[in-house]
Amino acid sequence: MKRWQFWLGVVISVVFMWIALRGLHIGEVWGSLQGANYWWLLPGIAAYFVAVWGRAWRWHYLLRPIKAVSTRTMFPIVAIGYMGNNIYPARAGEVLRAVVLKRREGIPVSASLATIIVERVFDGVVMLSFVFLNLPELARLTSDSGYVGSIQSLAILGTVAFAGALLVFLLAAMFPAPTERIATWFIQRLVPERFRERVQDITLRFLGGLESLRSPQDALMVFVTSVVIWLFETLKYWLVMHAFPFEVSFFALMLMNGIVNLATTIPAAPGYVGTFDAPGIAVLVAYGVQHALAAAYTLVLHVALWVPITVLGAYYLAREGIRWGDDVRQEAESEEVKGELGYENQ
């Protein structure tokens, strides 16, 4: 709570919530919430958990060169990680699931974090694909719909960032020896002598986590799996939409999913408060959905995405017997990744 990053996230969330709620009449939003058919949440949540299972399979696939771990074993760990992302700032759930994996399977934290970063890069590429599939529709997003700024510019910058990161990872995976030499050269010149051995060790473990990308076939499999995962998450958007009296195309919801998840990369309060809601409402308003109805749907969707996985992840975490404070910190510090990841005492 004392970290400046946390309070910066709160401020950003407040700004985004102001953008999302300005001009709304709470009575109209409440009326839309009262009239919703919440039975549609059940198939929506089921579709989301299929996507979570897909994430567990993808992580199992990325980790195969390091150690074969079944998807069934990975699923609770993935749920714990997403719970951590939902309730702790700075996506701390990624460190949490890497720590749980180390405790269970002995896989180094730095190696598993490398695969998690690869996941995030592929997710970003898929989200941008969703956006670019609907590029002509982006002209609808104006300040009148509640969105401030140029989503086209954001999409282009995001493409450069994610494509660049993916290229770097692919090159590092395909040419491990030159990559190791380059990394060693930088470490020898930029890292103080007393830290060099530790940083070198972390770097080698991290590069080991990229082994799954050495095969173009494996990289393609990870990309296809990522597409399937996000299509199932969009299916949840579509199913929850049926709880409300409006209809937009599946492609419109793909655009909403892409923009919303790109926006949630912006630092915010835990649970992506505001950064999820404001762009989601803006997309629906741009498609002609009444403002209060769009706000009610987005709120329900946000809760339906947040609560089930958070409850399930908390259950699995309790079974692991891990405390976020001392236990996670000790595991992280055991590999000297605390400073590298920006991990600080809570």
pLDDT for res 315:
94
Per residue in 330-341, pLDDT (tens digit) is: 665 555 444 344
pLDDT for res 64:
86
pLDDT for res 323:
67
Per residue in 11-30, pLDDT (tens digit) is: 888 888 887 787 778 888 99
pLDDT for res 253:
92
How far, in Å, CA of 125 to CA of 139, rounded?
Answer: 21
pLDDT for res 33:
94
pLDDT for res 292:
93
Contact present, 259 and 151 (Cβ < 8 Å): yes
pLDDT for res 136:
67
- All residue ranges of the chain with pLDDT < 50 are 1, 148, 336-346
pLDDT for res 332:
57
pLDDT for res 88:
82
Torsion-angle region of 150 (φ positive above 0: left; ψ -120 to 50: alpha; else: beta): beta
Contact present, 281 and 294 (Cβ < 8 Å): yes
pLDDT for res 341:
40
